[in-house]
Structure 1
Amino acid sequence: MPLFFLSYARIPGERGPGHDPDKPVFHFFEMLRDRVADLAGVPVEAAGFVERNDGDEDDVARALSRCQVFVPLYSKRYFSDTYCGRQWTAFARRAASGSLPHTVPVLWTPYPVASVPGAVSARPEIVEGGGETEDAYATSGLHQLLDLEEEAALPVVDRLARRIVESATGVSMAPDLDRRTLNTMPDAFAAAPPRPPMRITVLAPSRDRLPIGREPSRYGPKETDWCPYGPVAGGPVAEQVKELARNLGFAPEVVSFDKTLVELEGRNTPVGPWTLVVDPWALQDPEASGRARTFDAAHRPWTAVLTAFADDDPQTKEHSERLRGLVQAAFPRFLRLGRMGEQEAVRGLVTADAFALWFGELAESSYMRYLRYIRPQSTPRNASQGRPPGVGADGLGSGEGGSEVRR
């Protein structure tokens, strides 16, 4: 039962004596395995597993069934590798079965956010302001850090080893896999069937309509230019949310608040889930506050609200008590009737990472409620007919459950 299983995308190319394109992967594995063995007090051979070029595929499948922590090496190549996608599916099914294994991702080489499949929610742990080593890891990935100076990578390897040892508790084995079962599993990274549009509405002032005294650096000519976490941390929130929605398989569409109200008050079937992103400063304006209360009173099941309370914004921190009071007055139903995560998102998310995390969670839950809402209207005689593939009668995916928040 190895403590961790290292999953990586094999680099194509000839292999021979003294030459292997994946040699850096195996070198990192040995460093990590040795440190995990020291910290956990286990033999080296029990600390970790990695698939070697001449390894037995049944051993790979068995180790994947028995490991306690899954350690994927994130790269653009990884997210397009079918075999890695099958390994991801095998491990995800263990999580769905209740054995509660953990994932500790590693930033191996930088990758575009758009390349991350919707099935992937865990992100590599990056320590902001952690010094030159952490900055180099966050910018260039561990592969380059090891290539440039092995000693510089040791703090990152040590932190990953500690995360693995901390996570390797209370995990039970799954039934052993064999090579045939593993090789016939679906690729978790394959493109999923398209989802419906996702409407996105931003309730924020433009730069020329700011409250008196509000610092203007995070605003622009349009409401959608608002950058709650600053221009560096994601840029305009409308673009950030569109990118997150695309990664989840939705077709995002930014629409005005007027269009929101028309659809909320109408009786036509909604075209998809809807997310309202709120700047608490906007609620000082009576008109904007009234719109928010109207949105709250409608309380449509396919809607979600996220409020940005940036903790690096001195003005927002200084006036946080008053601003939170405005939010509570504008969204009493969401705060009273919403689930715990929904309430937290409405009260205010203080970092860009928290915002992205909760957007993914609420997008999935509002999508499931959207499916439950439209099903009786579209299939009044038999609710199972016309059901989207993989969606059960309760609106949840077959066997995979809802989205899981990872902190």
Structure 2
Amino acid sequence: MPLFFLSYARIPGDRRSGPDPDRLVFDFYMRLRNRVAAYAGVSGPDAGFVELPGTTGEEVAEALSRCRVFVPLYSKRYFTDPQCGRQWTSVTRGAAPAAAPRIVPVLWTPYPATSVPQAVQETPAVPESAADGEDGYATMGLHQLLDLEEGQAQQVVEWLARRIVATAAGARPHGDPDPAALARLPDAFATLPPSPPLRITVLAPSEGRLPIGREPSRYGPDPLDWSPYGPVAGGPVAEQVRELARNLRFDPEVVSFDKALVELRGTGTPAAPWILIVDPWALQDAEAARQAGAFDAAHRPWTAVLTALADDDPQTKEHSERLRGLLESTFPRFVREGRIGQQTAVRGLGAADTFAQWFCELVESVYMRYLRYIQPRSSLGSSDRGIGPGADGGGSGTDEGGGAEAGR
């Protein structure tokens, strides 16, 4: 019967090689669990629970049903995660208003007010009786404090531990330990406004049109089957970015480059912001390179380029200097005009988690540029979709893992 249950939205990414993308969540959990155990005078396992890799659905459902305090890590990603929404429903349905303090939220990363579901609005992460170091916590969130301000982060952890222990004293377990019942619960967060559209285009060869000598294991019958980081890193990049975009509350459409050429060349008002994902091997085809270069020269402000140049692909690593040369000659404007990190995203990203982080960063950036571009051309007016600081490409725009909402 854990005193608290830590609820978080998982970051998509490869968990079979390299560090877990959610490692900072687990580090925070252990610090919080240790302090709760010390204040409550209980053992560590009795103090808290978090879903680790390999945890079964039965273990999650039982811990959720038996916990006394529910500790959600608030973030933009959290409010769009159906599993988190079902967990919220589990601990709040049928509860009297007096039971509301059972929830002790944590501001994990800042989020726009417009992204907060109605179910959450009366349970703020930074109440009036806030922690020491409130200013940093309220503006940056605990995720960034843990990276940058260790002293303030520890103050917030101590404050949260005391709140959890005090809240647990007057709370009772509530819920159903059946994982099937948990899966059937409604998502408490599923009342957000409609998601704005996002176009994602993949420029990559199919296995039948590979450059001479290119090893075919990371390709399939269609360009959208391209898996730049291999099957262990999540499979086709088209599926990975579609999931990331949905977690960011966009409605993505993913198409291959050849099927999007007409719209990319269009001069009318765009229907959506656009991300072009590039396999540099495709640029060995002269016609593909010419068309991609024309896209670069067209200067579409609502677009961005992202390149996968996988470190774990021996052939790509061997030819990386030549492939980067192709990218720089094909996309000189994107390389020249972006911030340093965005230039790096064009020149090639070696790891799957870094690719995911920069995809999220660029999506928010092109969305803001898209709104600025179309507003004078339409009756759209101001957007209902709030975007946090840095999302227009001028600030940090950081979230879990270093990208805008790569995390949450």
Report the TM-score when normalising by structure 2.
0.59
By how many angstroms is 1:325 displaced? 0.7
Is 1:387–2:382 an aligned residue pair?
yes
Is 1:293–2:293 an aligned residue pair?
yes
Greater Cα shift, 167-176 or 215-224: 167-176
User: Structure 1 residues 235, 387: closer, same or farther in 2, change over 3 A?
Assistant: same
Match of 2:38 in 1: 44
Match of 1:264 in 2: 264
Is 1:332–2:332 an aligned residue pair?
yes
- Matched residue type, 1:255: V
By how many angstroms is 1:87 displaced? 5.1
Q: Aligned partners of 1:377, 1:331: CA distance in 2, in Å?
A: 27
User: Structure 1 residues 392, 101: closer, same or farther in 2, change over 3 A?
Assistant: closer
Q: Which has the higher contact order (CA 8 A, sep 6+)?
A: 2
- Matched residue type, 2:381: G
- Overall identity of the aligned pairs, in %: 54
By how many angstroms is 1:257 displaced? 2.6
Match of 2:87 among 78, 81, 85: 81
By how many angstroms is 1:89 displaced? 6.9
Q: Give 1:139-150 correspondences, 5 Å limit.
A: none
By how many angstroms is 1:232 displaced? 2.5
Greater Cα shift, 264-273 or 254-263: 254-263
Q: Aligned partners of 2:67, 2:387: CA distance in 1, in Å?
A: 42
User: Structure 1 residues 229, 191: closer, same or farther in 2, change over 3 A?
Assistant: farther
Say whether the 8 Å CA contact 1:371–1:395 is kept in structure 2. Answer: no
Number of matched residues? 294
Match of 1:169 among 142, 147, 151: 151
Match of 2:142 among 101, 110, 123: 101
- Matched residue type, 1:101: L
Superposed CA offset, 1:258-283 (max 9, x none): 45333233232111111111111111
User: Structure 1 residues 194, 208: closer, same or farther in 2, change over 3 A?
Assistant: same
Runs of 5+ consecutive residues of structure 1 not aligned to the other structure = 10-27, 65-71, 105-163, 180-186, 380-384
Q: Aligned partners of 1:341, 1:100: CA distance in 2, in Å?
A: 22
Tell me the SS of whatever aligns to 1:317.
Answer: helix
Report the TM-score when normalising by structure 1.
0.59
By how many angstroms is 1:36 displaced? 5.0
Superposed CA offset, 1:105-137 (max 9, x none): xxxxxxxxxxxxxxxxxxxxxxxxxxxxxxxxx
By how many angstroms is 1:231 displaced? 2.1
Match of 1:25 in 2: none
User: Structure 1 residues 248, 88: closer, same or farther in 2, change over 3 A?
Assistant: farther
Say whether the 8 Å CA contact 1:8–1:78 is kept in structure 2. Answer: no
By how many angstroms is 1:190 displaced? 4.6
By how many angstroms is 1:396 displaced? 6.5
By how many angstroms is 1:284 displaced? 1.1
Tell me the SS of whatever aligns to 2:275.
Answer: strand
User: Structure 1 residues 392, 251: closer, same or farther in 2, change over 3 A?
Assistant: closer
Match of 1:239 in 2: 239
Greater Cα shift, 270-279 or 231-240: 231-240
Match of 1:350 in 2: 350
User: Structure 1 residues 296, 82: closer, same or farther in 2, change over 3 A?
Assistant: same
Say whether the 8 Å CA contact 1:372–1:394 is kept in structure 2. Answer: no
Q: Aligned partners of 1:302, 1:89: CA distance in 2, in Å?
A: 34
Say whether the 8 Å CA contact 1:200–1:252 is kept in structure 2. Answer: yes
User: Structure 1 residues 35, 392: closer, same or farther in 2, change over 3 A?
Assistant: closer
User: Structure 1 residues 231, 377: closer, same or farther in 2, change over 3 A?
Assistant: same
Match of 2:318 in 1: 318
Q: Aligned partners of 2:85, 2:67: CA distance in 1, in Å?
A: 23
By how many angstroms is 1:303 displaced? 1.0
Runs of 5+ consecutive residues of structure 2 not aligned to the other structure = 8-25, 50-63, 93-102, 111-125, 127-135, 168-186, 403-408
Q: Aligned partners of 1:395, 1:360: CA distance in 2, in Å?
A: 12
Say whether the 8 Å CA contact 2:296–2:334 is kept in structure 1. Answer: yes
Q: Aligned partners of 1:97, 1:365: CA distance in 2, in Å?
A: 23
Say whether the 8 Å CA contact 1:264–1:298 is kept in structure 2. Answer: no
